[in-house]
Amino acid sequence: MSEALAVLGGYLLGALPFGYWVPLLVRHEDIRTKGSGNVGASNVFRVYGRSLGIPVAVLDLAKGFAAASLGLWAGGPLIGVLAAGAAMIGHARPVFLRFEKGGKMVATAGGATFALAPLAAVCCVGLWLLLFFVTRYASLASIVTALGLAVFVVAFGYPWPIVAFGIGGAAAVIALHRQNIRRLLGGTEHRFELGR
């Protein structure tokens, strides 16, 4: 019973739409009508800059970390992975927004990875920062880092549930970035201005 509750709790944590709530509370605006329409940290950063983008990113990381930690406490690596996966689904299709489109799961997956595979997570952060500051494409950094996660969890010899999480999470992040991939190939993808 506690294991099932941990997975349900993971979904509910992931479904907390901070990217929607923070701009609504601070700017009285609906982020779904701006930028890409996503309620993830990247769109908040793109529209409002660091002042709102950084807090939303931290909150999205925290909910992924909390969900995976809850699962690890309730039942070990397998339940940790299931709770983390549930949090990612919650972020993408949040019950608090009537299951409408949420974010692309990158920050939530990153937070979960810090709980499940901390060494791989540190490597992923370094890879994402390097790619972002070199290219200024958040989407490209996220896609390549997702692939990197799948490699790191195998290379560092994590248990099979965490390897499955790394590979499945990478596939999910890439699938949610299909439109970004098209724009990258077409040369029309948005590049961040680092001075904002």
**143 inside domain:** yes
* pLDDT given for residue 58 in this prediction: 95
Number of domains in the chain: 1
CA of residue 167 relative to chain centroid, distance: 14
109 within 8 A of 193, measured Cβ to Cβ:
no
* pLDDT given for residue 194 in this prediction: 59
Nearest alpha-carbon partner for 103 in 28, 54, 176, 23: 176
Q: What is the pLDDT along the chain (196 residues), one digit of tens a residue?
A: 689 999 999 999 999 999 999 999 999 999 999 988 889 888 998 899 889 999 999 999 999 999 999 999 999 999 999 999 999 999 999 999 988 888 878 889 889 999 999 999 999 999 999 999 999 888 899 899 989 999 999 999 999 999 999 998 888 888 878 888 888 888 888 787 655 5
Residue 33 carries which DSSP code? G
* pLDDT given for residue 137 in this prediction: 87
**194 inside domain:** no
- Cα separation, 27 vs 175, in Å, equals 31
> Which pTM value belongs to this model?
0.83
Where do we find the tokens 């409002």?
48
* pLDDT given for residue 195 in this prediction: 55
27 within 8 A of 52, measured Cβ to Cβ:
yes
Where do we find the tokens 């807090």?
55
**88 inside domain:** yes
Where do we find the tokens 């909150």?
59
Q: Please provide the DSSP assignment of 130-144 as one string.
A: HHHHHH--HHHHHHH
Residue 195 carries which DSSP code? T
Compute the C-alpha angle 53/196/100, nearest 5°. Answer: 30
CA distances from 168 to 25, 165, 195 (A): 34, 5, 34
**192 inside domain:** no
Query: How many residues are given for the chain?
Result: 196
**74 inside domain:** yes
**123 inside domain:** yes
* pLDDT given for residue 187 in this prediction: 83
**196 inside domain:** no
* pLDDT given for residue 142 in this prediction: 87
For 42, the domain range is 2-186
**191 inside domain:** no
